[in-house]
Amino acid sequence: DTAVSQTPKYLVTQMGNDKSIKCEQNLGHDTMYWYKQDSKKFLKIMFSYNNKELIINETVPNRFSPKSPDKAHLNLHINSLELGDSAVYFCASSPLVGRATDTQYFGPGTRLTVL
Amino acid sequence: AQSVAQPEDQVNVAEGNPLTVKCTYSVSGNPYLFWYVQYPNRGLQFLLKYITGDNLVKGSYGFEAEFNKSQTSFHLKKPSALVSDSALYFCAVRDLGGSQGNLIFGKGTKLSVKP
């Protein structure tokens, strides 16, 4: 009964390809997030999303797009993959929109390697 | 703008000794502070958080953190370290500037506990 799950765990692909990473949470949370962890282990927000509002970190290239088929899912689609996209991508969720005291719960991560 | 700093890249402790992982913060307004742990090739696990109230916060796996407003610090502590505590520890602050309240992470501190 994993709370926040991601698939796949590992993703190896060629430069220029388009790929998607799926995220699902079974916690009934309203808000979901995508974070990127680079090779130096720095963690940075990419997107935060609820059913009404998407907030995009301005540093994220528009090749990255989150897609939410329903409240429990927030998938990450990446077009025209580049070498610099290689990283670990973490999905997270929290209970309510904008409630600063809420804990965020993270998925296990997806390690993306672009060759 | 909110930020956290973890001044130590690595902390080395002998098993059974007390450990401290340091974190300082800079916020405008009330600080909402979190500690997460990342074991090798795993996702982030929530340890504890400070929202308000008692300055000493107790969390998972015997960890605790002390909030010090005058020193703007939120150091993570454990009275007796275990080898299994060896991991990467992240301090984080809630970004109150964004409506979704994503987390801003420190760079992480690698804790190494030797037998």
Average pLDDT (A19-45) is 94
Amino acid B100: pLDDT: 58
Distance from CA of A59 to the nearest CA of B (A): 14
Does pLDDT of A38 surpass 80? yes
Rounded to the nearest integer, the mean pLDDT of chain A is 91
pLDDT digits (tens, 9 = 90+) for B17-68: 999 999 999 988 888 999 999 998 888 999 999 998 899 999 999 999 999 9
Amino acid B69: pLDDT: 93
Amino acid B88: pLDDT: 96
Question: With contact defined as beta carbons under 8 Å apart, do B46 and B34 qualify?
Answer: yes
Residues A78, B92: Cα–Cα separation, whole Å: 27
β-bridge mates for residue A89, sequence order = A36, A110
Q: Which residues of A touch B49 (CB under 8 A)?
A: 101, 103
**How many beta-carbon pairs below 8 A join chains A and B?**
71
Residues in chain B whose Cβ is within 8 Å of chain A: 32, 34, 36, 38, 42-46, 49, 51, 88, 90, 94-96, 98-105, 107-108
- Residue B95 or B89, more confident: B89
Does pLDDT of B99 surpass 60? no
Does pLDDT of B97 surpass 80? no
Does pLDDT of A43 surpass 60? yes
Does pLDDT of A88 surpass 80? yes
Q: Do B51 and A106 touch (CB under 8 A)?
A: no
Q: Do B45 and A106 touch (CB under 8 A)?
A: yes
Does pLDDT of A1 surpass 70? no
Residues B79, B2: Cα–Cα separation, whole Å: 30
Tell me the CA end-to-end span of chain B in Å, nearest whole number: 41
Nearest to B96 among A31, A92, A100 (CB): A100
Average pLDDT (A38-57) is 85
Residues A23, A20: Cα–Cα separation, whole Å: 10
Average pLDDT (A77-96) is 95
Whose tokens are 């672009």? That residue is A114
